[in-house]
Homo-oligomer: A and B are copies of this chain.
Amino acid sequence: MRMNNPQLDADGRLKHLLSIEGLPKKILNQILDTAESFVGVAEREVKKVPLLRGKTVCNLFFENSTRTRTTFEIAAKRLSADVISLNVNASSQSKGETILDTINNLIAMHADMFVVRHAQSGAAHFIAQHVPAHIHVINAGDGRHSHPTQGLLDVFTIRKYKPDLHNLRVAIVGDILHSRVARSEIHALTTLGVPEIRVIAPKTLLPTQVEKLGVHVYHDINVGLKDVDVVMMLRLQNERMNGAMLPSVQEYFKTYGLTQERLALAKPDAIVMHPGPMNRGVEIDSSVADGRQSVILPQVTYGIAIRMAVMAILAGGQAGGAQ
């Protein structure tokens, strides 16, 4: 089985980060534990460690995402790497070069790590299959498929605020069907021993047979939020609105938007999460987003630590990483 897992090497060590599915519990915990040490780095006077000094990290964005690119750029620079950002639409692709030729050229320039964002599912896997053993690939989002560092930072955030994962009730609310992260998170939470995961959404925004993932399905948010410890809101893509899937933004907020009243149904110390960017007044009320239970900004902070941890582990230097 290990031989079929493209993310691990023959000794079971992390080689690429492509999706949370397929990561053994041991590796998940290694990433989370390493990230703990990098949380401290960001709070220092000099927010920099020399772990990736002299290494070249390529941000390879076939799809524009300033937000995600920025987090990886900051993480790589804090590890002292040289960062090269390539917006690939604007370059060789238009000259008819294949993705693999682009990748092979960058490897020939002694790039060490690729952070790949692509609109098509499986793009990062495809690249990972074709690179030599010393090159590492991180999936920064491929279509609807996977966005593993987002999933990891979410799990890290939950663990920070609710360390006893074996006693948690987590609700994921919103567009499960099109979410890059929902499926990964369900997998990660299950792997780490979270006993009860609920998904709350209209039928049109749920994948068929979602129950097979081991989750409980709710269509009524007022029932689904009852006594949960964690409320993970998902972003509603505006483009879903203009179809048959959903009636209107106002209607969605009325039925599934997270308000103070609804949040009161959860446990009093429940935390509220959102992957950003938020549509205030669509999936979440501003008073909740900015409220005392919100851990939305800590998620962003931990996202840097998670990305630093993944890069450090892949580069093989996690041991002395953040000392």
Complex interface: chain B residues within 8 A of A243 (CB): none
Complex interface: chain B residues within 8 A of A44 (CB): 54
- Find residues 69-110 in chain A having any chain B CB closer than 8 Å to their own CB: 70-71, 73-74, 77-78, 82, 84, 86-88, 90-92, 95-98, 101, 104-110
Q: A109-B74, A304-B109 are in contact. Are A54 and B64 (CB under 8 A)?
A: no
Mask: chain A, 50-67; 1 = CB below 8 Å from B; 0 = not: 000111100000001111
> Quick check: is A12 within 8 A (CB to CB) of the other chain?
no
Complex interface: chain B residues within 8 A of A267 (CB): none
- What's the nearest-Cβ distance from chain B to residue A133, in Å? 15
Which A residues contact B (CB, under 8 angstroms)? Answer: 42-48, 53-56, 64-67, 70-71, 73-74, 77-78, 82, 84, 86-88, 90-92, 95-98, 101, 104-110, 238, 276-280, 297-301, 303-304
Complex interface: chain B residues within 8 A of A48 (CB): 53-54, 82
Contact B66 A280, beta carbon cutoff 8 Å: no
Q: How many copies of this chain does the complex contain?
A: 3
| A105 closest partner in B (C-beta) | B300
- What's the nearest-Cβ distance from chain B to residue A268, in Å? 25
Contact A110 B301, beta carbon cutoff 8 Å: yes
Contact B297 A98, beta carbon cutoff 8 Å: no
